[in-house]
Structure 1
């Protein structure tokens, strides 16, 4: 009987949890929606506890190999530096990190490569936390900023870097335009982003639309672009020398989704640290993470890499 009641309770929790998940979306309405979401995630500390300083996916190599979850995230930064050719740049290179989160990538770029990094985020809480986590001897600083209306003049950074910020941008063309605008001539744009597959030839089917709707609504995303579409928008700025280089890192990053859920099992101290409320908050993110794994695993979503040089 006890087992029977336990099963019924589990089913009830799943049903109630699913209903709450579906009726309380965090749909994008404005930039304030995004800021509020990240303020809340930063303030409660749960995301940082499980995902570390890098609020982005990890890089697991080709072929994929087992890695520590947090180490894979740090490795992603180094892989992106290598892919973008940034390791060739001298110490003192100026970098703008667009959508810097709590500064994990910025600190690696400053500490390991000697770059002078300016990180911007739309979340005041993230600015505060990024600053708290950054030692005085690290040449990285953080400020509030809107990626669609950068406060910097034209031609002022050697590198513009952005990781997984694009889905929050309602105007992808403006996002590309602003990043290219603040680059110096000859400067390098390197972007990593979540993308959908190119549906210009084969539209999304019913189930794909259903999944995509949840991926947009639950994490304050107005839209995903395709790799092909965003590449054209970067080129469309008229500020690119040569071609926009792209790559698909879906397989390299795919293990991150299930690994992020696995952290809840192997780090049970989170239950003590954040209590029942933290458990419910964490549990609420699981369906979206699973849908992300389904989306990226099925080809509905792709992890796009973009590199462009300013003319």
Structure 2
């Protein structure tokens, strides 16, 4: 696993994804999403907390919804009736928790994509049960080759799917391609720390830890927040902003562990396959990465230039 440290250039070699990566990702979520839903609900991403909340461990679902609200506020997504987004894509949608939330918040049409057909089918069933199918639809599709025309969406969101992308430049390029002129792009993702000026790469022990996390969660190469900024610049995206929310999400995995040790969590564990068990064991590796300052929970926002 490589750790990139310089700007993404158009002439840079295209990363070669590990063989079977897409199938492995789909298989992981096919198997584990039901267990996650029973324990934590329909949002498959970190929760946002105020620093110091670790002792009380607030409601996980409320914290996950707050992550979305904080991301929207950071990106200055308007809620004015005339300017609010009307067409949204949720890239890496899971079972559609974020898709449904965004559609309700803005009264918008929201399309979600995931590599997992099981997730898409479950998410559409939940949407239908809530009588919301006229606003939200999920489908299995590849974020690196999205089945949408150019400029379709005025809000493009990726809530923790970038970690799976073997080609980060292609990933951001696709987000930009489907964004409408003037549209907002939000990427919430785990990165590795920025390199120091004197460093050419991460330390061997850091690379080893990231590789173990990759194996647990079917992740691709990691990159830094600075790498994402450089990619956005190379694509001529505007109003590029980042923030490190690592401290804000620090209580999340301890809260998930606490839920997993509840009766619901323990009985759900009886249905787990090996991929889910491996992912659960990876939680301790993630916590270690955060504590070492190696993993940075990052938000990157930008805008697609308006047409000339």
TM-score, length of structure 1 as denominator length = 0.83
By how many angstroms is 1:70 displaced? 1.9
- In 2, distance between residues paired with 1:112 and 1:174? 29
Retained in 1: the 8 A contact 2:103–2:109?
yes
Show the counterpart of 1:52: 41
Give the corresponding residue for 2:7.
Answer: none
- Matched residues, number: 279
- In structure 2, the partner of 1:184 is 180
Distance change >3 Å, CA 222–CA 282, structure 1 → 2: closer
SS in 1 for 2:24: helix
Distance 2:175 2:89 in 1: 9
CA contact (8 A) 1:166 1:224 kept: no
Say yes or no: does 1:170 pair with 2:166. yes
Structure 2 gaps, min length 5: 1-17
Greater CA drift, 79-88 or 92-101: 79-88
Deviation, structure 1 residue 251: 0.6
Contact persistence 1:120–1:142 (CA under 8 A):
yes
The one of 32, 39, 63 equivalent to 1:41 is: 32
Q: 1:68 aligns with which of 59, 63, 80?
A: 59
In structure 2, the residue matched to 1:249 is 245
The answer on whether the counterparts of 2:259 and 2:265 sit within 8 Å (CA) in structure 1 is no
Q: 1:68 to 1:146 in 2, by over 3 A?
A: same
SS of alignment partner, residue 102 of structure 1? coil
Specify whether residues 251 and 222 from structure 1 end up closer, same or farther in structure 2 by C-alpha distance, changes over 3 A only.
same
1:117 to 95, 110, 123: 110
Q: Give distance in 2, aligned partners of 1:28 and 1:176.
A: 22
In structure 1, C-alpha distance between the alignment counterparts of 2:63 and 2:258, rounded to whole Å? 14
Helix, strand or coil: the match of 1:290?
A: helix
The answer for unaligned runs of 5 or more in structure 1 is 1-26
Query: Which of the two has higher C-alpha Rg?
Result: 1
Q: Quick check: 1:301 aligned with 2:295?
A: yes
Q: Contact 1:197–1:300 (CA<8 Å) still a contact in 2?
A: yes
- Counterparts in 2 of 1:114 and 1:293: CA distance versus 1, 3 Å: same
CA–CA separation in structure 1 for the residues paired with 2:203 and 2:280: 24
Choose which of 214, 229, 232 in structure 1 pairs with 2:230.
232
SS of structure 2 residue aligned to 1:153: coil
Secondary structure (helix, strand or coil) at the match of 1:194 reads strand
On the 8 A contact 2:217/2:279 being kept in 1, the answer is no
TM-score, normalised with respect to structure 2 = 0.84
| Aligned-partner Cα distance in 2 for 1:176–1:152 | 15
CA contact (8 A) 2:192 2:294 kept: yes
- Match 2:91 to one of 98, 101, 106: 98
Measured against aligned partners, the alpha-carbon deviations of 1:190-228 in whole angstroms (never above 9, x if no partner) come to 110010012364332232122111011111011111101
- Structure 2 counterpart SS, 1:33: helix
In structure 2, the CA distance between the partners of 1:142 and 1:286, relative to structure 1 (3 Å rule), is closer
